[in-house]
Amino acid sequence: MGLEEYFPVWNQLTSGERELLLGTAVKRTAPKGALLHSGSADCVGLFVLRSGQLRAFILSDEGKEITIYRLFERDVCLFSASCMMKNIQFDVDVEAEKDTEMWVVPADVYKRLMDGSLAVANYTNQLMASRFSEVMWLVEQIMWKSFDKRLAEFLLEESALNDGNTLKITHEKIASHLGTAREVVTRMLRYFQSEGMVSLARGTVELTDRKRLQALVK
C-alpha cells in the first residue's frame, strides 16, 4: 500500500495536492535505535508511519530523558517538522524503538498543504491539540502520581506493546522513559520483586503477577 492509504485526509485533497505529496514524499527506513530528529533546530519533515514504532522524548540539559509519547503504524509525527510553525518551537527528540518504515514529507511541502487546504489545517490543529493533551497528562502523572504506580503502569504498557510478560529492557532505559534516575527504578523494581510482582535478571524484567500490578495502578 502506498502513501495514499496512510496519509490523513487523503480523500479530502485535490488532485494537485495529491500529486504534490506523491512527488515529494520520500520513503525511508530507520533501524531500531536510530535518532531521527533532534530538537527544534532540526526540521526533517513530517513523518507518516507505515510500520514500526517511534518514541518522542525531551532531553534535559543534564542529559535526563523522559518519554512524552509514542508513534505507531499510521501515526503522524508533527514535531519533526516544527520549523513550519513560526511561534511554536519544541526541543523534542524522536528515535526509532523498532525497525521502522515511513514516509517523510518535506516541511515546506506540508506547510503549503496546510496553508491551502482547510482539511489539512484542521487535521494539524487536532493533532497538535492531541499531543498537548498527552504532554499535560504526563505532567499530571509526574506531579501527582506516586512512582510505584507510574512504574507498574509502564511495565504493563510495555508488556502489551511487546505481547509478552518478559521485557528485554534495562533499568537505565526505564529511567529514561519515566524521567528519573536509574537508582530509583532499581530500588522500586527490587521492591516489586520482593513482593512477587516481577522477576529480575540482567537486561530483563519478567511480570510474574499482573493482577497485583494492575491493582497497584488503580
Q: Which of 143, 171, 197 is the last residue of a domain?
A: 143
Q: Is 18:4 a contact under the CB 8 Å cutoff?
A: yes
The reply to whether 189 and 127 lie within a common domain is no
pLDDT for 121-165, tens place per residue?
A: 999 999 989 988 888 888 888 888 899 999 999 999 999 998 899
pLDDT for 90 = 60
pLDDT for 218 = 82
The reply to whether 88 and 165 lie within a common domain is no
The reply to whether 131 and 207 lie within a common domain is no
Does the pLDDT at position 42 exceed 80? no
Q: Which region among 35-39, 69-73, 111-115, 148-152 has the lowest average model confidence (pLDDT)?
A: 35-39
CATH number at residue 91: 2.60.120.10
Confidence bin at 177 (pLDDT 50/70/90) = very high
The reply to whether 28 and 49 lie within a common domain is yes
How wide is the angle at C-alpha 154 spanned by C-alphas 78 and 130, nearest 5°?
25
Q: Which of 98, 125, 143 is the last residue of a domain?
A: 143
Contacts of 40 (CB under 8 A, 6+ apart): 82, 83, 89, 90, 91, 92
Confidence bin at 89 (pLDDT 50/70/90) = low
The reply to whether 162 and 134 lie within a common domain is no
The reply to whether 99 and 167 lie within a common domain is no
The reply to whether 113 and 190 lie within a common domain is no
Domain hosting residue 91, numbered range: 3-143
Rg (CA), the chain: 19
Q: Taking residues 28-47, report their average pLDDT.
A: 87
Q: Which of 155, 143, 140 is nearest to 188 (CA)?
A: 155
Does the pLDDT at position 213 exceed 70? yes
| Domain count for the chain | 2
Task: Give the Å distances, CA to CA, from 40 to 9, 80, 81, 87.
Answer: 26, 8, 9, 12
- What distance in Å separates the CA atoms of residue 68 and residue 90, rounded to the nearest whole number? 12
- What distance in Å separates the CA atoms of residue 72 and residue 160, rounded to the nearest whole number? 13
The reply to whether 189 and 128 lie within a common domain is no
Decide which of 39 and 4 is more confident: 4
Q: Which of 143, 178, 196 is the last residue of a domain?
A: 143
The reply to whether 31 and 79 lie within a common domain is yes
The reply to whether 136 and 155 lie within a common domain is no
- What distance in Å separates the CA atoms of residue 46 and residue 57, rounded to the nearest whole number? 16
Helices (H), 45-101: none
Q: Is 113:17 a contact under the CB 8 Å cutoff?
A: yes
Q: Taking residues 21-33, report their average pLDDT.
A: 96
